[in-house]
Structure 1
Amino acid sequence: MEVPCLLPVLLLLLLCPAGAPFRICAFNAQRFAQGKADKPSVMDILVKILSRCDISVLQEVMDAKGKAVTALMTTLNRFDGSGPYHNLTSPLLGRGNYQERYVFIYRNQKIRILDSYIYKDNHPDRPDVFAREPFIARFSVPIKELPELVLIPQHTMPSKAESEIDALYDVSLDIQARWRTEDMMFLGDFNADCGYVAKKRWGQIRLRQKPGFHWLIGDKADTTVRENTRCAYDRIVVHGERCFSAVVPGSAQPFDFPKEFGLSEAEALEISDHYPVEVELNAACWGLQPARPAGLLLLALAILSGSVYGI
């Protein structure tokens, strides 16, 4: 039987369906360093979490020599063949002895990094507001209506959460001036609840009040692992109508990894005291147009039965 030229296209559509969701995640990995990298049980759960995401942004990575991140990437690429996964890691950021890295982990076959920079925290009206300056990256992504997307992770200092969240608005203006884009996503552990941001203060926080910013993780969400807490610390905020239009409705949520992987609270706390937060975007696979699964199935059956092109 001669294989028709249409068959490779069909297989591509079946294996990589256009319109498949593109998932972006943010995770406070709670003091991720060599000690955690040396624990197989911790690394096993971490790579299972990361393999669910096309782009992940890790915060609270306290890996001074970079060896823990290298070990994580090696383990992730061995675990999941849908990569290869690459990473973009910031320098150590922070004041005094408490310093962290932001780490972007992404599937290299789908995604390219176009540019990145560390925000200069020298606004004349609000100098040195961030305990850890935002590390900003611009990506090329496989989304037809949204070919580029800027990601801005932020892990605020709890006692300065209100001012840091507010100052992310200044970051958005800086990005628009630098890259002439409005399509951006702020994500991470904002410490945006439970005493760190008073309800009466939300009205003065520009990232919340200025038009065009869409908060996808609401105030009633629980992004904490401990059963005795219920706090919406971790958030995802998008800006730009193309970006907001690409969001799959209802997809932004915390990922309850202890429930998913059958962990006790004590076991989960070995990984982190935070849930990851995630959102899905409607993505065309390598620019292909959306196809109807039923139509693909009928075409596959036709080819296999030899009814196409007289096979």
Structure 2
Amino acid sequence: MDVFVKILSRCDIAVLQEVMDAKGKAVPALVAALNSFDSSGPYNHLTSPLLGRGNYQERYVFIYRTHKTRLLDSYTYEDNHPDRPDVFAREPFIVRFTVPSKALPEVVLIPQHTMPSKAEAEIDALYDVFLNVKSRWNTEDMIFLGDFNADCGFVAKKRWGQIRLRQQPGFHWLIGDKADTTVRESTRCAYDRIVVHGERCLGVVVPGSAQPFDFPKEYGLSEAEALKVSDHYPVEVELNTACRGFQPAGVVLLALAMLSGSGYGI
């Protein structure tokens, strides 16, 4: 729990994936521990419905500092596109937040954890989600983030040219193909990604801030210790919320934390 809390205390908004909190006790316990640890809160959270097929279901969880941002709206994407029905193993849960910036007053976050065997189709279908959000909320300022399984055999290099989220103009992939988002030293895969759309949104991204967070190195953990927390690094990006000519610069930190500590049901 202490490692979870340290990671989350870096963030103004964090998204957790692979949350399997059947009894509904783990996430409130985590947020309570975070509020006790970090006086820069208070933190609140929003949990998606159970998403998935059959007996394997997950939740997305958003944890955010309430004095830095306000939750405006949320919905679960209806996976019923006439050309690509039921393409997502876990439907996107889409959330709109305020941002303390005149340049970017609000932003939409769209996390996605793809099924490895269907990664190409699900990443491509996120473009349909983009169009759905654009129509529903009349905005183009969005951040897609999550374990896309976007590397190491799940997405062939020759297929990137046919994936609309990659090829349509306006989408900026901030975590590159050569990044390593895996904890195990035996693997080097860019599974987890952050993709920004909208010129206003891109304009407040702090250059070079999008990267995996090597929490084992930061907290002096062995590989075995780190794997009890997650087998993925969180990926993160900073948004500069300062107006030009004003100091100090305010920064919102957005992170995806792929956390799955079985002892806490997350």
User: So what's the TM-score if we normalise by structure 2?
Assistant: 0.92
User: Of 196, 203, 213, which residue of structure 2 is paired with 1:238?
Assistant: 196
Partner of 2:114 in structure 1?
156
Structure-1 separation of matches of 2:189 and 2:114: 15
Q: State whether residues 91 and 101 of structure 1, in contact with CA within 8 Å, keep that contact through their aligned partners in structure 2.
A: yes
Partner of 2:260 in structure 1?
none
How big is the shift at 1:110?
1.0
How big is the shift at 1:65?
1.9
How big is the shift at 1:292?
6.5
Partner of 2:44 in structure 1?
86
1:78-114 Cα offsets, whole Å, 9 max, x none, are 0101000000100110000100000000000111011
How big is the shift at 1:237?
0.1
Where does 1:65-84 land on structure 2 (aligned, <5 Å)? 65-84=23-42
For 1:217, what is the secondary structure of its paired residue?
Answer: coil
For 1:95, what is the secondary structure of its paired residue?
Answer: coil
Structure-2 separation of matches of 1:49 and 1:261: 10
Give the AA of the match of 1:122: N
Where does 1:294-309 land on structure 2 (aligned, <5 Å)? none
1:138-194 Cα offsets, whole Å, 9 max, x none, are 001112200010000000000000000000000000000000000000001000000
Q: State whether residues 64 and 92 of structure 1, in contact with CA within 8 Å, keep that contact through their aligned partners in structure 2.
A: no
How big is the shift at 1:291?
2.2
Partner of 1:144 in structure 2?
102
Return closer, same or farther for 1:200/1:110 CA change in 2, 3 Å cut-off.
same
For 2:52, what is the secondary structure of its paired residue?
Answer: strand
Structure-1 separation of matches of 2:65 and 2:11: 8
Where does 1:98-247 land on structure 2 (aligned, <5 Å)? 98-247=56-205
Return closer, same or farther for 1:214/1:77 CA change in 2, 3 Å cut-off.
same
Greater percentage in helix: 1
Structure-2 separation of matches of 1:130 and 1:151: 17
User: Of 216, 240, 247, which residue of structure 2 is paired with 1:291?
Assistant: 247
Larger Rg: 1
Partner of 2:240 in structure 1?
282
User: Of 55, 58, 66, which residue of structure 2 is paired with 1:97?
Assistant: 55
How big is the shift at 1:288?
9.5
How big is the shift at 1:229?
0.2
Structure-2 separation of matches of 1:212 and 1:292: 30
Return closer, same or farther for 1:288/1:85 CA change in 2, 3 Å cut-off.
farther
Q: How many residues align?
A: 249
Structure 1, gaps ≥5 residues long: 1-42, 294-311
Give the AA of the match of 2:113: H
Q: State whether residues 121 and 128 of structure 1, in contact with CA within 8 Å, keep that contact through their aligned partners in structure 2.
A: yes
1:46-77 Cα offsets, whole Å, 9 max, x none, are 00000001100000001112111011011111
Identity %: 81
For 1:87, what is the secondary structure of its paired residue?
Answer: strand
Give the AA of the match of 1:190: F
Over 6 Å off, 4+ runs: none
User: So what's the TM-score if we normalise by structure 1?
Assistant: 0.79
Structure-1 separation of matches of 2:100 and 2:121: 34
Structure-1 separation of matches of 2:25 and 2:101: 33
Q: State whether residues 255 and 275 of structure 1, in contact with CA within 8 Å, keep that contact through their aligned partners in structure 2.
A: yes
1:243-262 Cα offsets, whole Å, 9 max, x none, are 00110010000000000000
Give the AA of the match of 2:145: L
Return closer, same or farther for 1:210/1:93 CA change in 2, 3 Å cut-off.
same
How big is the shift at 1:200?
0.4
Return closer, same or farther for 1:112/1:164 CA change in 2, 3 Å cut-off.
same
User: Of 247, 253, 258, which residue of structure 1 is paired with 2:211?
Assistant: 253
